[in-house]
Amino acid sequence: MLSSTAEYALKAVLYLANHAEEQPVRVGDVAEALGIPRNYLSKILHELARDGVLSSSRGKHGGFQLAHPPEELSLLTVVQRFDRIAEERSCLLGRPQCSDRHACAAHWRWKAVSEQVSTFFRETTVADLMTGTAIAA
């Protein structure tokens, strides 16, 4: 569903959210804890920082942390830079211009499902996925 890059981003953000006490957290620690290639993750976290999802500090005692409370951070925000999640380009058959007005063969049936996916990413927050958080259906 997600590219491995987006998956790394999401896992790392979740890790930072769950380690809010020990902020900021070093790339190396996150990479080791999650089994993600270090320099690759470094680049990903840097991009998240440029997007305003994380804040970073260099030098001794530097590292990364969430820039905003996890309740205010949707999964879509974390992931959208890396994957086009069911936003706009949601045509199952890859048509550039597939819409209600110009529907492909699969449009109406797929739209219902596709919107559920979008909604999940748009409305689920990092706080919803933090360990120790009550999970309600």
Contacting residues toward a second copy, per CB under 8 A: 1-2, 4, 7, 10-11, 14, 86, 90, 92-94, 105-106, 108-110, 112-114, 116-117, 120, 124, 128-131, 135, 137
CB contact at 8 A, 78 and 72: no
Q: List beta partners, residue 125.
A: 74
CA dist., res. 20 & res. 23, Å (int): 6
| Residue 62 touches which of DNA, a second copy, none (Cβ within 5-8 Å per kind) | DNA
- Minimum distance of DNA from residue 100's CB (angstroms): 27
45-74: which residues touch DNA (CB under 7 A)?
A: 45-46, 49, 56-64
Backbone angles phi and psi of 33, in degrees to 5: -60, -35
11 contact partners, CB below 8 Å, separation of at least 6: 34, 36
- Minimum distance of a second copy from residue 36's CB (angstroms): 11
CA dist., res. 137 & res. 124, Å (int): 12
Q: How far is CA 92 from the centre of its chain?
A: 22
Q: Applying CB under 7 A, does 8 fall inside the site for DNA?
A: yes
| Residue 108 touches which of DNA, a second copy, none (Cβ within 5-8 Å per kind) | a second copy
Nearer to a second copy, 53 or 85 (CB): 85
